[in-house]
Amino acid sequence: MADLKDKTALVTGASRGIGKAVAERLARDGATVAVHYSTNKDAAQETVSAIQKAGGQAFSVQAEFGTPGDVDDLFAGLTDGLERYAGQARLDILVNNAGIMGGVPPEKITPELFDRLVAVNAKAPLFIVQRALEIMPDGGRIINISSGLTRVANPDEIAYAMTKGAVEMISLHYARHLGPRKITINSVAPGLTDNGSPVFDVPEAVEQMAQLSAFGRVGRPEDVADVVAFLASPDGRWVTGAFLDATGGTLLG
């Protein structure tokens, strides 16, 4: 378990699913965690409570990406919380996790849907990185959550996969820029991961999804959180600009 004592972290989309597991893991490793959410305040509070119950430190911060002033809202809440809980507005670890899927066949993609996917999944992460760097010390960590769908085809998720390709470009190109500051930035790509959505309650669907992984099961949020935790830890210092396959072997074909 990494020692993130005295470190601070922001995990976007930490009210549920993978983000929640990442927030809990980083807090367990000692970081003070900002648990970001969009609309689900109760769920975010549950994440904060779970962290506190386990002896960790966390606070919630709200911002709806894809709306005017989204990044300003996020950083207003973040800096306020950091000052209150960590004594200063300093961010050591950023995990760009929040994301939405498309789920429509190619014939049904509309310009509006495309714009929304880009705004939430690609534009927000880019400008969150830009702002985070103003309060991130040398040696910081940035992890962007991509998807296995940048490597395997799913026609119902063309626009979504395009945004995740963009996320990977943030990591690649910023990595060169941030090297002198010893800040690492990487992409982690989950495969099908049980985020508590109703489809994961349907045994036949789960069985079918499980077959895609080399390990014969769907991913658990903790499977991805552990990979993120490695990159966030001191052990991850020599990895930057990388694409980490956290799909449980789904990309092996």
Q: Is 23 in the site for ligand NDP (CB under 6 A)?
A: no
CB atoms < 10 A from the CB of 115, how many? 13
Site string for ligand NDP, 39-78 (x = CB under 6 A): xx--x--------------------xxx------------
Long-range contacts of 28-31 (CB under 8 A, 24+ apart): 28/1, 28/54, 28/56, 29/1, 29/2, 29/3, 29/4, 29/229, 29/232, 29/233, 30/2, 30/3, 30/4, 30/5, 30/6, 30/56, 31/4, 31/5, 31/7, 31/56, 31/92, 31/93, 31/232
37 is an active site residue = no
Q: Is 18 in the site for ligand NDP (CB under 6 A)?
A: yes
Q: How far is the CB of 19 from ligand NDP (least distance, A)?
A: 5
Residue from 77, 81, 99, 236 binding ligand NDP (CB under 6 A): 99
Closest CB to ligand NDP among residues 37, 174: 37
Stretch that binds ligand NDP, among 52-60, 95-103, 129-137, 176-184 (CB under 6 A): 95-103
Spell out a b/e string for 27-62, using b for 16 or more CB atoms within 10 Å of the CB, else e. Answer: bbbbbbbbbbbbeeeebbebbbebbeeeebebbbbb
Tokens of 158: 């063309």
Nearest residue to the partner ligand NDP, using Cβ: 17
> Which residues on neighbouring strands pair with residue 111, listed in sequence order?
none
| Nearer CB in complex with ligand NDP: 78/145 | 145
Per-residue mark of binding to ligand NDP, 178-217 (x: CB under 6 A): ------------x-xx-x----------------------
- Tell me which of 7, 13, 82, 162 binds ligand NDP, using CB under 6 A: 13
* DSSP for residue 30: T
Judged by the rule CB under 6 A, the positions of this chain that interact with ligand NDP are 13, 15-19, 37-40, 43, 64-66, 97-100, 120, 145, 147, 190, 192-193, 195
